[in-house]
Structure 1
């Protein structure tokens, strides 16, 4: 199954090119932008440098898919205006089904992209572009910017949601280390509503890429509002990360359920994620894609044939805990088509498990196996370790011996696991040539990490207090379908 049927051939000395993650050959990419679904097609826009494999000269690249897994590259959607309003920074897009913007004149459905213009003088303003052909091409709004800069250095990354009780649009824009909310009936004129974030959440760096939306919890039958915020630096394991808040939105103010800091992913390589507009499964779930990198080393990773990739698309759901709500994430169901049905099962761990280059692991651990160590190895002496300590309900990930270790890349990552009544811990790991995505306990905890070994990890060694008469520990290996 080709991931990118229009991909440009490129060379990578150590085969780090992703096999099933989206990337752009011979280019730099970062934040996903303007995600929406329309007439059977998913649209992914993203920050792209058309001239280099390091950050700069920001445009909006574009790709489309019918299944969120196989993507087609499309022409650049929004071009930078270095001598005008500026470069095209991050933002979102909405399907304006009621033509509130008035852009459609002949019955079309406008797609309205909201983005930040970043001028050569580093002034950030909020602008619009619209498409009348389903997102194939965009025209910038003639009266940009629609929200001028209020005197702030960091004022960017607009994301818009329809607020149905009030019959108007709400836009979230990050402003330093908080969020400003605006309202509009037509997407063109905006009135400021409120601010959120003062003395709440993590503040180790600048806030970026907000996303506000309602989610319905199937367990409780209640609906809560979710606010996603990326932060750089200040993540729980160094550099970039995503935090989130759960509460209620009354059309003006976001009212948080508590002041706890919650992390969407505990790895160092899940950032700037936003969700798709106009997906039918909402509001019981949202589909999210994130940039798979970290600003600590994003410009320095070792493959000059490409730089930057997206995570697997994931489903976000709201789960009820005794006194609060939380989010869980799992790969979209469409990702199952990636894996071969010829899976191998392993329950005796005296010998290492042979591994393909790209695959999915499904791990079932009995809680009686209080400590388990998984070690990925190759013939060049590279090593990745994951220690799962079920006695203390935590996991420890170590890539300090994985090959590339420059520029704060050799991180060790700690993940607090959630206690449950189940006698098993279920873990899914999606492994590509340069990344691992871990999903613990049905996605209630996740960990995303890049790795650049000298060659693919060819074996997995499993050890710990695993062996007992009633041992039900099992590891299933499903290779990538070729």
Structure 2
């Protein structure tokens, strides 16, 4: 098992490489794939171009971690070849060797991935599902000789997420995949991971402004009650997000082993573009896509990772030699908020305990129609926790990675009920016409106030508002010298009840 490098400890030449987020050393990455916790190790596989830093030559890259903080990059796990590109998928631990890939007492890890067959191959133009297996804990892989194991003769059938369903006397593997251009999730079952039977379909529903990709399906207890379970179906789409470009949505409902029934569908069929704000979004920012969850996470935790980029400008972001980070790992729960059941996302506990030092605190301070740079609060890698009470101001908030009044604005507009991220003056923005943006998300007060937890890294901000009820993830590319943190109010006053800045990394 050869290790190439650790992205968080190796010396780097560029100022944008994250300190808190995983990136490949010198290549391109996109969708997270095959997330699994196995034998004490978190495995993060991902779409990777091992030959360059733009999309192409799709293979599965590989990184591991024991703490969800420090990731070690390994050689390419499953490589493309002359017949196929290796598109997205998932990994299961076949502990009972239902596939027959095991050897002696060693049960296999089995990867279920999309074969995107190339011109000249036997299945040219088709996307179908294939298998590979590992007997050494996920470091080396062998493709199944009988691939593909499931084909619909479709050019847009992809991204299988597989899990073990146990429902009373029934126990079998379930595959959740998509017919991307039909806006449809398809469900299959299998006893051996090789032979698959169609169960049902779901969709179109809610957001259909772009192709559907990278689905996931999992149960969660409501408000922590193990006797009250609901199922969550996530599906990503590109374009068609609430603030343009790539995004992910979710549905809450029930799954009986055959059919998913949504209780949170707003519109059946093709979307009403005027109702985007009513749908359940995994993230309201521009840069959280293809999010999927870990299999077999300890203590039944539901941990999720997304690709921190947007297909509108993904190949053009100004980083080198690497391109694209992953999001922080998030822990997902279902909670009742203001009488509604919603998906709540928080940074995984391992992230919240990152080593750092409290460098700045402020409490019960009034902002009055001005921008105020906070002496002693500057930094490039930070966690910021802030609670505000609105006054007469039409907008108030923070300016991150700033240079005077310029920077990335994170603001609350109480009369409009909105959280705003304005990155039009966030630094380098001219590499693509769609990058400079003003993005918004609906936000309601909690007991009359607003709470924001913000993770600032060298090229990103991740915002968890109202204890994770609303999240926004955005790439930014500020100058190295832009380190100021400011507070501001427009058109009146607001109160900072508390502000704590922790310098990280």
State the TM bucket, normalised to the shorter chain.
Answer: over 0.9
Distance 1:390 1:314 in 2: 27
State the aligned residue count.
468
Contact 2:454/2:461 (8 A) holds in 1 = yes
Contact 1:369/1:390 (8 A) holds in 2 = no
Residues 71-470 of structure 1 mapped to structure 2, 5 A cutoff = 71-81=71-81, 83-84=82-83, 86-121=84-119, 122-148=125-151, 150-165=152-167, 166-176=170-180, 177-198=183-204, 200-218=205-223, 221-260=227-266, 261-282=279-300, 285-321=301-337, 324-347=340-363, 348=365, 351-353=372-374, 354-368=377-391, 371-376=395-400, 378-379=402-403, 382-405=406-429, 406-420=432-446, 422-464=447-489
Secondary structure at the aligned position of 2:427 is classed as coil
Contact 2:334/2:341 (8 A) holds in 1 = yes
Pairwise CA distance, 1:104: 1.4
Pairwise CA distance, 1:404: 2.6
- Return the TM-score normalized by structure 1: 0.92
What's the CA shift string for 1:83-127, capped at 9, x where partnerless? 22x010111111122222222131112111110011113321100
Pairwise CA distance, 1:153: 2.3
**What are structure 1's unaligned runs of at least 5 residues?**
none
Contact 2:7/2:22 (8 A) holds in 1 = no
Q: Return 409-418 or 437-446, whichever deviates more.
A: 409-418
- When the two chains are superposed, the root-mean-square deviation of aligned CA atoms in Å is 2.1
Distance 1:206 1:399 in 2: 27
Distance 2:235 2:97 in 1: 29
What's the CA shift string for 1:170-190, capped at 9, x where partnerless? 101110211111000111110
Distance 1:381 1:390 in 2: 22
Pairwise CA distance, 1:41: 0.4
Contact 2:220/2:334 (8 A) holds in 1 = yes
Distance 1:472 1:377 in 2: 19
- Return the TM-score normalized by structure 2: 0.88
Contact 1:6/1:73 (8 A) holds in 2 = no
Distance 2:305 2:319 in 1: 22
Pairwise CA distance, 1:433: 0.6
What's the CA shift string for 1:43-74, capped at 9, x where partnerless? 00001111111000011010110011101111
Distance 2:401 2:103 in 1: 60
- Distance verdict in 2 for CA 1:322–1:462, change over 3 Å: closer
Distance 1:223 1:321 in 2: 17
Distance 1:242 1:35 in 2: 17
What's the CA shift string for 1:148-195, capped at 9, x where partnerless? 1x2322111100011110201110111021111100011111001111
Distance 2:252 2:428 in 1: 37
Residues 52-67 of structure 1 mapped to structure 2, 5 A cutoff = 52-67=52-67
